[in-house]
Amino acid sequence: MNKLSVNLRVNGRGYDLEVASNKTLLEVLRDQLNLPDTKYGCGTGECGACTVLIDGEVVNSCLTLAAAADGREIRTAVGLEKNGQLHPVQQAFIEETAVQCGYCIPGMVVKSVGLLEKNPDPSEEEIRHWLEGNICRCTGYEKIVDAVKSASKKMASAEVKAVG
């Protein structure tokens, strides 16, 4: 088993690291970078608890070799806050009470951000289709879908304000 030198940019901060060849990005985030917000749920790409954004695209970090993420821009739930302000998606999850046990939520929030950055005004059907791949066992998805809709409106009005 070899080790590889990689540079990961995580939540805006650069890390030069040695990673073992068989380590997934999930393991490196949690165990080497001490960023446990990204969760292990199944390890096989089914549950989405490990979802991160790599260069703006949602990805299962449990199925990504850490070495393959060399040079890429990674964002996780804990890095979404800006200047002490929660991301509109996080704010919407709070307002809609879209959280119960919370274990799926970092992945769910990241997944929702990944949608709204590409498709700022998704239909309910598009939201539900997009949330496939992230399992929540507590909420029946109802309030999570409401939160994504509400976040979409928040982001649109923030955009208008910024332009206006």
Partner 1 sequence: MGELNVVGKNVERVDIRAKVTGRAVYAADMDMPGMLHGKIIRCLEYAHAKVKSLDFSEAEKMPGVVKCLGPDDVTSKTYNQSVIDLMASEQEAEWMGDIEEQNIFTKHVKFYGDGIGAIIAESEEQAERAAAKVKVEYEPLPVYLTPEQSSAPDAVQFVPEKPGNRAFQLPAEMFPNNCLGWGDVDEAFKEADLIVEDRFYTPKQKQCQMEPNNYIALYDDEGRLNCWASCQMPKLAHVKLARLFEMPMSRVKFNQTVVGGGFGARLGLVMEPEVCALALAVPGRPVKIQQPREEDWLSSPSRHPSDYWMKMGFKKDGTPVAIDAISKNFKGGYYLDGSALASTTGFWLQGMYKVENLRYRGESYFTNQPVCGAYRGYGNPQTNFVLEQIVERGCKELNIDPLEWRKKWHKTVGDNSWIGFTQYSSCALDECLEKGAEAIGWKDKRAKYENQTGVKRRGIGLSVGQHTSGAAPMILEHTTCTVRLNEDASAELLLACSDLGQGSHTTLRQIAAESLGFPIEDVHLNVGDSDANGFDIGAHASRTLYVGGNAVKQACEDAKRQLFERAAKKLEANVEDLDMNLDKEIFVKGSPSKSITAKDICEVGIYNFTNPMTGEANGEAGQIQSYVSYMPDHNSPPFFCTFVEVEVDMETGEVKLLELVSAHDIGRAIHPAICEGQMEGGAQQGLGMALTEEMYFDENGKVKNNSFTDYKMLGASDMPKMTNILVENPDPHGPFGAKSVGEAGLVTPVGAVANAIYQATGIQFTEGPITPEKILKAIKEKEVAA
Partner 2 sequence: MSSRILTDFDLLVPETVPEALEMLNRLQDQVTVVSGGTDVLVAMKFGFDTPYGMSLAKLAGLNYLEFDPQQGLRVGARTTITQLLESPEVKQYYPAIWESAVNFATPQIRNTATLVGNLLRASPAGDGSCAVYALGGKLVFSNEAGEREVDIDDLWVGYATTARNKDELATELRIPIPAANSINAFKRMTRVNEDLAKLNVAVNLTMDGNVCTDARVAMGCVAATPVRLRQTEDLLKGAEINEESLKSLMATVSAEITPIDDQRSTAEYRKQVSGVMVKRAIEQARDRVTA
Query: Binding residues for partner 1, per CB under 8 A?
Result: 30, 34, 36-44, 46-47, 49, 76-78, 80-81, 86, 90, 93-94, 96-97, 99-106, 109, 125, 127-129, 131-132, 134-145
Residues 113, 152: Cα–Cα separation, whole Å: 9
Select the residue interacting with partner 2 from 63, 94, 101, 158 (CB under 8 A): 63
Q: Which amino acid does the sequence have at 35?
A: L
4 is a site residue for partner 2 (CB under 8 A): yes
7 is a site residue for partner 2 (CB under 8 A): no
Count helices and strands (H / E) in the chain.
5, 5
2 is a site residue for partner 2 (CB under 8 A): yes
Site for partner 2 in 77-106 (CB under 8 A): none
Is the distance from CB of 61 to CB of 38 less than 8 angstroms?
Answer: yes
Which DSSP letter does residue 36 get? T
Q: Which amino acid does the sequence have at 97?
A: T
In angstroms, give the least distance from the CB of 70 to partner 2.
Answer: 7
Closest Cα to residue 74, out of 98, 57, 50, 87?
57
φ, ψ (nearest 5 deg) of residue 20: -70, 150
Q: Closer to partner 2 at the Cβ: 68 or 94?
A: 68
1 is a site residue for partner 2 (CB under 8 A): yes
76 is a site residue for partner 2 (CB under 8 A): no
Residues 92, 115: Cα–Cα separation, whole Å: 15
What are the residue ranges of helices labelled H in 21-123?
A: 25-27, 88-95, 105-118
In angstroms, give the least distance from the CB of 71 to partner 1.
Answer: 24
Q: Closer to partner 1 at the Cβ: 139 or 150?
A: 139
Which residues sit at the interface with partner 2, rule CB under 8 A? 1-2, 4, 21-24, 27, 40, 43-46, 48, 51, 57-60, 63-65, 67-70, 111, 114-115, 129-130, 132-134
